[in-house]
Structure 1
Amino acid sequence: MRKELIWKWLFFFVGLAVMSLGVSMVIKGKALGTGSWDVLHIALFENVGLTIGSWSVITGFVIVGSTSLLLKEWPKLATWLNMILCGPFIDFYSWILPDSTGIFFDVFYFLMGILVLGVGCGLYISPRLGAGPRDTLMMIFAKKFRGSIGRARLAMEALIALIGGLLGGPIGAGTLIIALCTGYVVQMSLPFFEKMLAKKLDNKDQDKDFSHKNLAKEL
């Protein structure tokens, strides 16, 4: 049991760190547009103050409260940790990563950020300790409308991007690309990390294909 918990929490925390790195990379290449949530966070940062990471935490609190009412249950510990830790991670990476010096680096940051973000998301979800606020909301969308993870994320991010754009956030072609691609990167990476974790735990029951319906039951 102790070995299982250690591996699960290791996957979770490393996944959060990797996902946050991806978010920060996309923000660094924001000339192309950022992810929908970051459009909102940056708009709030520029209009109100604080930091982008701080707004990530604040919006996370709002989402946790809303999803708790919808699911009629208290969020898991992992959901709270996701909400609290991602903001500081994003601010830290944004501080240490060098600024872009031109369109080449904007494109590099942007494309690599999408890949790193999606992979990190799949990694932290794989132990099924509880998804983060935004991914829980994504799963609710997928379950409610009986669609795929990719489509659910697209619909959710389109709505948030619209709100952030109206507030003056850096919306662009890249925002649409992220909305279209990130959910599918998660959908492809999640089964890989589930199988990797199952091998670490010698757990044959966990070594199975990804199903968003099964995952939704565990959120």
Structure 2
Amino acid sequence: MKNSPRLSFLSVKGVPTLSWSSPKPLNLRPDLVTLILLIVGLTIFGLGEALLIAAGTGVSPWTVLAQGVSQQTGWTIGLSTFIVSMTVLILWWPLKQVPGIGTILNAIIIALVLEFILPYITTPEDYIFQVLLTILGILVTGLGSGIYLIANLGPGPRDGLMTGLQQQTNLPIAWIRSGIELSAVIIGWSLGGVVGLGTVLFAVLIGPSVACNLFLLNKLFGGKET
């Protein structure tokens, strides 16, 4: 059964190649516009993460997983997060993913955005507005993901896992990403992590959000899928 035209973004497979895309991820001398749009995309991504945190409806699926690992091992949440991230990066090898400048800047820029922007975003008092802020954060994160992934200068750990699995399975990005996030939630929850409504919303909607933004950027700027 095919998706309706309005939901055709759910069938997106692969990251499109646009005018600002680097010819290869491991590119130490990218075009200036490519580097700028990489930074813009990661900044928007970080803003989306800040909105999700400020909403206060539940931590991200990967934080739930880190919580679960922490519960089972006695490690700190910081160490658990690091171990989870390193494990994901190890999984890149069989998936033939290549790191790049974007992989490094992913961690740096998002951390800086959270550091300097999060204090200025207040948590709404009404729960309905907290949920709406969560959904806004998911949409903004998806937009940032689309812009920086198209730059093709190396994905972050989770995005690399997403693109790697997509290339190996040829399944739509929306389903691959949602499957990854839901797996992180289920494993983390089973290990003792805490799940909130925002966690579930993120796990279910981030895949379609990323795919939708890749689809729209491709339509707007006339690229083609790789």
Question: TM-score when scaled to structure 1?
Answer: 0.73
Asked if residue 65 in structure 1 is aligned to residue 80 in structure 2, the reply is no
| Whole-angstrom distance in 2 between the partners of 1:137 and 1:29 | 26
| Whole-angstrom distance in 2 between the partners of 1:14 and 1:167 | 36
Judged with a 3 Å threshold, the aligned counterparts in structure 2 of structure 1 residues 208 and 119 are, in CA distance, closer, same or farther, namely same
Match for 2:121: what amino acid?
Answer: L
Partner SS, residue 175 of structure 1: helix
Q: Which region of structure 1 is more displaced relative to structure 2, 116-125 or 21-30?
A: 21-30
| Whole-angstrom distance in 2 between the partners of 1:50 and 1:91 | 18
Asked if residue 19 in structure 1 is aligned to residue 19 in structure 2, the reply is no
| Whole-angstrom distance in 1 between the partners of 2:84 and 2:160 | 13
Contact 2:102 2:153 in 1 (8 A): yes
Which residue, 211, 218, 224 being the options, matches 1:187?
Answer: 211
Match for 1:5: what amino acid?
Answer: D
Q: Which region of structure 1 is more displaced relative to structure 2, 135-144 or 177-186?
A: 177-186
Contact 2:131 2:198 in 1 (8 A): no
Match for 1:164: what amino acid?
Answer: G
Question: Equivalent residue for 1:201?
Answer: none
Of Structure 1 and Structure 2, which has the larger fraction of its residues in helix? 1
Within a 5 Å distance, the mapping from 1:1-219 to structure 2 comes to 5-31=31-57, 33-41=58-66, 49=76, 59-67=84-92, 69-71=93-95, 75-194=99-218, 207-209=222-224, 211=225, 214=226
**Deviation at residue 58 of structure 1 after TM alignment:** 5.8
Contact 2:185 2:195 in 1 (8 A): yes
| Whole-angstrom distance in 1 between the partners of 2:193 and 2:115 | 18
Match for 2:42: what amino acid?
Answer: L
**Deviation at residue 191 of structure 1 after TM alignment:** 4.0
Determine which structure has greater relative contact order: mean sequence separation of CA pairs < 8 Å that are 6+ residues apart, divided by chain length: 2
| Whole-angstrom distance in 2 between the partners of 1:81 and 1:88 | 10
Please, which runs of 5 or more residues in structure 2 have no aligned partner? Answer: 1-19, 21-29
Match for 2:37: what amino acid?
Answer: F
| Whole-angstrom distance in 2 between the partners of 1:87 and 1:59 | 17
| Whole-angstrom distance in 2 between the partners of 1:13 and 1:45 | 32
Partner SS, residue 154 of structure 2: coil
**Deviation at residue 167 of structure 1 after TM alignment:** 4.4
Please, which runs of 5 or more residues in structure 1 have no aligned partner? Answer: 199-206, 215-219
Match for 2:190: what amino acid?
Answer: L
Identity over aligned residues, as a percent? 27
**Deviation at residue 109 of structure 1 after TM alignment:** 1.7
| Whole-angstrom distance in 2 between the partners of 1:147 and 1:74 | 20
Question: TM-score when scaled to structure 2?
Answer: 0.71
Match for 1:182: what amino acid?
Answer: I
**Deviation at residue 105 of structure 1 after TM alignment:** 3.2
| Whole-angstrom distance in 1 between the partners of 2:98 and 2:223 | 28
Partner SS, residue 16 of structure 1: helix
Contact 2:49 2:141 in 1 (8 A): yes
The number of equivalent residue pairs is: 196
